[in-house]
Amino acid sequence: MAPSTSSVQEVPAATVPAHAMARTSLAVLTKYSPLQYRTQRGDPVMTVENEAQAPVAEAPAAAAAPAANPSLFALPCFLVGSITLGLWLVGYLPAALPGGLVPAVFFAAGIGVLASGLWAARAGQSAIAGIFGMFGVFWMSFGFMVMGLVNGWFGVSATDATAAASQIQSLQATFLISWLVVLVVVTLATMRLPLAFTLLFVVVDIAVALVLAGVLGGSTGMLTGGGIAVFVFCLIGIYLFYDAMNQELGGRALPMGAPVVK
């Protein structure tokens, strides 16, 4: 028996407008999305912002590289030349054998300290570069003077011993006077450095002045006094080198003294 058509209730296909159903579906789909949707019927824009944002971790700052310290190379080279010169002035190295100074004063002290000055200049340490460069040139010029006198490059008389002695004296005195003036100026200009550095420069000045007096007066005693002064500033240089190397390897700084000029 066929069912009666009156017992079957037909449900309307759509009791809600189509565009409203579409908007409801979009709202469900985009509930957790930051995208923006616009219906094709010109309905208002629906925007859902995701307020919970993951924190952005900042990259750690790179550790600054330690500053270069050219004195770790300059001071040992300076000490080699200075100790050799001191030994010659006090008579350990024969006075008649000045050529024995050349390897230490020209190559070790001259080239080594000058190279340290270039290193300091590259690191942007202008004052240190100037000081090291000056001492490097001092040692190189001193070594060249010794080589020139030994090999007769400067036209010193080879026939008249008296004239030769006078010429050599004038040449050496001119060299020492020129450098003494420069060294005194450097000493005065660097008094803002710690006291140990100023003391080093003062003793260097004294050593050069004593050697100059020995050359002009022909005094062996003055030359010996100059050699002793050289050993004194070598001790200061050793102290400075020990402090620099000790700090480089993580040790504590040694006392340097307050600057003369603040």
Question: Residue 62: which pLDDT band, with cuts at 50, 70 and 90?
Answer: low
pLDDT digits (tens, 9 = 90+) for 205-229: 999 999 999 999 999 999 999 999 9
**What's the predicted TM-score (pTM) here?**
0.75
Helix (H, G, I), strand (E, B) or coil at 36: strand
Question: Residue 21: which pLDDT band, with cuts at 50, 70 and 90?
Answer: very low
Question: Residue 95: which pLDDT band, with cuts at 50, 70 and 90?
Answer: confident
Burial of 120 (0-12, 13-18, 19+ CB in 10 A): buried
* Phi (first) and psi of residue 203, to 5 degrees: -70, -35
Q: What is the mean pLDDT of residues 29-45?
A: 47
CA-wise closest residue to 119 among 73, 174, 184, 167: 73
